[in-house]
Chain A
Amino acid sequence: MAEQRIATTKVAGTWAWALQRLSAVLLIVFLGIHIYASHFMNLGEETAGDTLITFEDVSIRLDQLLYIIVDYGMLSMILFHGLNGLRTVMFDFDIFAKRHKLVDVGLWILGLATLVWGIFILLPFITGSGG
């Protein structure tokens, strides 16, 4: 049992461990900004008092570079943190720990593909067309 735990720590990696902690703390901050900006911030007079988020609300917000960085930065960190967490869980099972390189490659592909997907999802809001 003890030997198995040590092996798991080795394949999981120190960088992944450190970045998991860093992204964790940053995500708490970003999530706070995201929730406040999406649901509590007053976005111009024409949308004030409206409890439903509209395409226009999001579009106004995403006119600012800061929020584009917040949203895409958050998506990147969520994907890293979530998939690296999944990887940690998987490595507690021998069947995945034995194939750790394959798991790494698979999760990187999944994460990057999802990031590209997410970038395209937000584009209509940034350009203010379609939606």
Chain B
Amino acid sequence: MKVSSFKWLFGKNSEFWPTNMKTGMWAWVGHRLTGLGLVAYVFLHLSFLSTASFGEDGASFDDLMATTSQPLFVAIDFLLVVAVIYHAMNGLRVVLFDLGMGIRRQKLVFWICMAVAAVLSIGGLWAVWKLIFVSSGGA
């Protein structure tokens, strides 16, 4: 990619420069970034599980679960949960607009979806916080 086209895409006058972006554009950029991250995650998820599935016995799966219940893994898992919740809630907003609902109040709909996303994220944190901050490795 040429420098000029990079400037056109991401420079100060571009539609992606942070101060040029409004609510809907932020929502769109966030949707794409979380979407790409989640696609990468699916392949990571299958890779991890396949190391356990094709082992000798059930023990290899249980070992994997013990490893992935360590605080660092659970903390990364929580980021994944937040990404999923954001993507789902903003996706719901996109579906509503495609059905012709709420377009005129798109900012309000966005913030309602984000409020729901925040509540769900806090619920997610409540479910895993012990694994991150208290115990070292589940059970």
Closest to A118 in B: B46
A53 close to chain B: CB less than 8 A: yes
How many B residues have CB within 8 A of the partner chain? Answer: 34
Q: Using Cβ atoms and an 8 Å threshold, which residues of chain A touch B56? A: 130
Residues of B contacting A: mostly: helix
Known: A24-B91, A85-B39. A55 touches B138 (CB 8 A): no
Which size class do A's interface residues fall under? Answer: 20 to 34
Q: How far is the CA of A51 from the CA of B88 in the complex (A)?
A: 27
B36 within 8 A of A: yes
**A51 in contact with B138 (CB, 8 Å):** yes
Pairwise interchain contact B39-A51, C-beta atoms closer than 8 A: no
Check if A78 sits within 8 Å of B53, measured CB to CB. Answer: no
A:13-65 near B, CB below 8 Å? 21, 24-25, 27-28, 31, 39, 50-56, 58-59
Q: List 28 A-B contacts (CB under 8 A).
A: A24-B92, A25-B95, A27-B88, A31-B88, A52-B62, A52-B65, A52-B69, A54-B61, A54-B65, A55-B58, A55-B62, A59-B58, A82-B35, A82-B38, A86-B36, A89-B32, A114-B43, A114-B46, A117-B46, A117-B50, A120-B50, A121-B49, A123-B53, A130-B55, A130-B57, A130-B58, A131-B52, A131-B53
Known contacts A53-B65, A58-B61, A114-B42; 17 additional CB pairs below 8 A are: A24-B92, A27-B88, A51-B69, A51-B138, A51-B139, A55-B59, A79-B42, A82-B39, A83-B39, A85-B39, A86-B36, A120-B53, A121-B50, A123-B53, A125-B53, A130-B55, A131-B61
Chain A residues engaging chain B, CB cutoff 8 angstroms? 21, 24-25, 27-28, 31, 39, 50-56, 58-59, 78-79, 82-83, 85-86, 89, 114, 117-118, 120-125, 130-131
